[in-house]
Amino acid sequence: MTLLRKRILASLAAVTMAATVAVLAPTASSQAEVSAQACSFTNWAAGTWYTAGSIVKYTNGQYYVAEHDNPGYDPIISTWYWEPTSCDGGGGGGGTCTSATDWVAGRQYYTGNIVRYNGSYYIAEHDNPGYDPVISTWYWEPHSCDGGGGGGGGSFVVSQAQFDQMFPPSSRNSFYTYSGLVEALSAFPAFAKTGGDTVSKQEAAAFLANVSHETGGLRYVEEIDQSGDYCDETRPYGCPAVQKYYGRGPIQLSWNFNYKTAGDYLGINLLLNPELVARQSPIAWKTGLWYWNTQSGPGSMTGHAAMTNGSGFGHSIRSINGSLECDGRNPGQVQSRVNNYTRFTQILGVPTGANLYC
């Protein structure tokens, strides 16, 4: 954890952080106007975490859509978090999408609307005026449809059994669930789905190998040394949270500016609520995937780019901790990452590819 803290201080503090996606800052959502359609829903359960856009069937037989993330508040009582919606059923495992239409730029869409885009389906997580489903991932989420391939984590190239082989349940922290990882994938539709089956599995193995190294095999949710406040007070937004911005999650997200940038990307106020990264498994996984897919750190490209453009695993190490490990600085740490990657590719049945070291 100490190396990671130094890495984030040394490599990321020197970089001017800016939001890297073409997503406008979310505004207050208007009243959902969802026409009756086959939609994906689950039966509401008190205490279950729901993200904005989730549809539930309440005990009165009516359907409600989450207007805001919430920890299972009652849809009838907590009307700021929930709003009635129309739904003709369709089951909890993905709708038939019979009402899906082809996505049109500039058309108004409401939470729960389902569209076809480049052969895949997406469901609106928030009202929006026709933002691109692939670019504006805060507003849209890949959706699985019966008889019509949508995106989503159900097609993740790493199975539950393979994940458990990589991270045995007896040794990993129960916080890091496979289901949490799969849920987080919806925010990054290109991850482990770019360049064919072999490249997709290599990318998944590379991401998980680096995560394994950072967390001691998914044992640590929070940084061991929490004495530092990791607050860059020169930022205009400051450090408003009561909690400190020490490392949390699969990449041990640290510093106020990283929580701010990751939160803006994901549509979650992590600057004010950094503890969410250590409380909600999907959010934790999303912060790890955010760094992997959007941040180059001390390297010249993101981890996602390194594994999909042929640069190789070594460049992913450089992007994560190159300033402290690469170019002969700490070969033991590099070898640990390479060992993880080699083992994980063997589990997935693909070659490692070239350029393993940095």
Task: Give the active site residues.
Answer: 214
Strand order in the sheet with 63-66: 42-43, 55-57, 63-66, 82-85
Alpha-carbon distances, residue 167 vs 161, 211, 215, 343, 348 (angstroms): 10, 11, 11, 11, 14
Residue in 65, 267, 289, 70 with CA at minimum distance from that of residue 183: 289
Contacts of 212 (CB under 8 A, 6+ apart): 166, 167, 218, 340, 344
Q: Token digits for 281? A: 């498994």
Neighbours of 108 (CB within 10 A): 12
Q: Token digits for 129? A: 């005026």
Contacts of 22 (CB under 8 A, 6+ apart): 132, 135, 136
β-strand 82-85 against 63-66: which pairing, if any?
A: antiparallel
- DSSP collapsed to 3 states, 52-90: CCCEEECCCCCEEEECCCECCCCCCCCCCCEEEECCCCC
Alpha-carbon distances, residue 275 vs 83, 253, 285, 343 (angstroms): 27, 11, 14, 32
Neighbours of 272 (CB within 10 A): 17
Contacts of 332 (CB under 8 A, 6+ apart): none
The DSSP bridge partners found for residue 58 are none
> What element of type H or E holds 101?
strand 101-102
Neighbours of 296 (CB within 10 A): 20
Residue in 71, 76, 81 with CA at minimum distance from that of residue 57: 76
The Cα–Cα gap between 157 and 91 comes to: 25
